[in-house]
Amino acid sequence: MNRPLDALPEGTKLAGYVIGRVLGRGGFGVTYFGHDALFPDTKVAIKEFLPAGLAVREPGSKSVRPSDAASESDFHSSLVRFEEEARTLVAVRHPNIVEVQRYVEANGTAYVVMKYEEGRSLAELLGRNSTLSASELGSIIPPLLDGLGTVHQRNYLHRDIKPANIYMRAKDHSPVLLDFGAARQAMGAERKSSLTEIVTPGYAPFEQYFRKGDQGPWTDIYSLGATFYRCITGSAPPEAPERIRRDPMVPAIEAGRGEFPEEVLTTIDRMLEVDERKRPQSVGEVYTLLRLETSARWPAIETAETLLAGEVGSAPASKLYEVLPRAEQGDADAQCDVGQIYERGLGVPQDLRQAATWYQRAAEQGYERGLIQFGRMLWAGLGVQQNAVRAVECWLRPAEQGVADAQRRLGDAYALGKGVPWSYHEGAGWYRKAGLQGDAQAKLNLIYVESVLAYSSKRDIGPYT
């Protein structure tokens, strides 16, 4: 790109780095390519705080100052948020979050030094109307969720997730979330500027259109859902305010049917609820909706369509005939084996109705494994009519007997308000019990639930407690 007139000259030295070409210029500042002065092979990206309308560079100088006396207070307030953002991100180490290395104060302003990544943005990859395949989408959802969850654990929000702020590494096509928008939000709030300067239409949720909107992890979850929606449809959702009365958005479940896993599409639709209370309230809840225990469960490069079913056809057909006689004689464990064979299509055609029937037979004998598996089928409506209340009833007995898997599933029920009254406190209690037995996913979900509870209690937000 052409070098902006207010950019630092190429070759400028800054805190041991050498400023190179301009990578980007937005309303918030200038981002430069740079390298270490002593080790030229060490490449960095340097973001300079130089907000348009609030600050200017002195002609013929490196120094930055507020554009006028009226802007001085706003400039310094936004600069404080810029520093807070940098200090937060310096402490975050995650492979899918931009690596912030240093915070530098110089020239009357401040700079953030970040690791330079070779690649291009997801927006550039998508172009004007392109989409991703199911396997391509499957390869970016878990790492982005993991990275965002790590940020949320520090009680910090991104506030500007969109394809332009997701960088795709050239070496392995893994995504990196960058350009956090907290300081930009502060700048907009201080300036009382146009909302179009501080929100991205189509990606910003309704609460970001109000200066005192109820923002939390669910705010970023909407924006990430909008990004996934763009990946499957070729266009961003309509602006949030347009969706209040007569929602013109084609649901993801309709737009992507047959091309993407159904649970992915329904999860995106949940992430895009206009009412923030109806959205997943944490990254942990998104994982629950996707039926992922960890990001590793996502079949990213293989076939995203097998998200639920697992490795279809990987067992010999003879396995069914080994266990079927015992199952028909009433052996509950064998009945569960038969259910699993039909559910996953292991050597036989996949048949969820048969799977649910065999799980139910085991559950009716009070068998722990059967109760858990039949409850799971009821919960998701797999092979049977969806019935969350009955699912919870199935899980309650083994949960009370100390079975961690059932305890975690009850935690999910309370955290989602599905089959039981919505209660994060109850959900946290069950997650805690499962976590004490070593259930890793329960421990992760507990972290997210407790972070939302802490966030809510500070703001006296009743529904989340």
- Residue 295 has a pLDDT of 40
Half-sphere exposure at residue 199, Cβ-oriented, CA atoms within 13 angstroms = 25
pTM of the model: 0.61
Domain range list for the chain: 13-115, 119-306, 318-464
- Residue 452 has a pLDDT of 61
Mean pLDDT of 404-414: 92
Structure token pair of residue 80: 């404080």
Neighbours of 453 (CB within 10 A): 18
Of the ranges 212-216, 335-339, 364-368, 395-399, which one carries the lowest mean pLDDT score?
212-216
- Residue 292 has a pLDDT of 57
- Residue 463 has a pLDDT of 41
- Residue 58 has a pLDDT of 82
Strand partners, 56: 65
**79 in the Ramachandran plot: left (φ > 0), alpha (ψ -120 to 50) or beta?**
alpha
Structure token pair of residue 198: 């501080």
Handedness of CA 173, 174, 179, 185 (dihedral sign): positive
Mean pLDDT of 294-300: 36
Top-tier CATH class for 119-306: mainly alpha
Instruction: Tell me the pLDDT band of 92, cut-offs 50, 70 and 90.
Output: confident
Mean pLDDT of 199-205: 92
CATH code, residues 318-464: 1.25.40.10
Query: What percent of the chain shows pLDDT beyond 70?
Result: 86
Distance CA 310, CA 266 (A): 19
Q: Answer whether residue 124 shows pLDDT above 80.
A: yes
Summarize pLDDT for 129-175 with one digit per residue, the tens.
789 988 888 888 888 998 898 888 888 889 899 999 999 998 888 89
Instruction: Tell me the pLDDT band of 319, cut-offs 50, 70 and 90.
Output: low
Q: Is 368 helix (H, G, I), strand (E, B) or coil?
A: helix
Instruction: Tell me the pLDDT band of 451, cut-offs 50, 70 and 90.
Output: low
Instruction: Tell me the pLDDT band of 453, cut-offs 50, 70 and 90.
Output: low
**Strand (E) or helix (H) holding 334:** helix 332-344
Average pLDDT, the chain: 84
Instruction: Tell me the pLDDT band of 19, cut-offs 50, 70 and 90.
Output: very high
Summarize pLDDT for 424-446 with one digit per residue, the tens.
889 999 999 998 988 877 887 78
The arrangement of secondary structure in 13-115, i.e. its CATH architecture, is 2-Layer Sandwich (3.30)
Q: Answer whether residue 6 shows pLDDT above 60.
A: yes
Q: Answer whether residue 388 shows pLDDT above 60.
A: yes
Distance CA 372, CA 397 (A): 10
- Residue 87 has a pLDDT of 83
Distance CA 144, CA 95 (A): 10
Burial tier of 107 (Cβ tally within 10 Å: 0-12, 13-18, 19+): buried
Structure token pair of residue 157: 């929000």
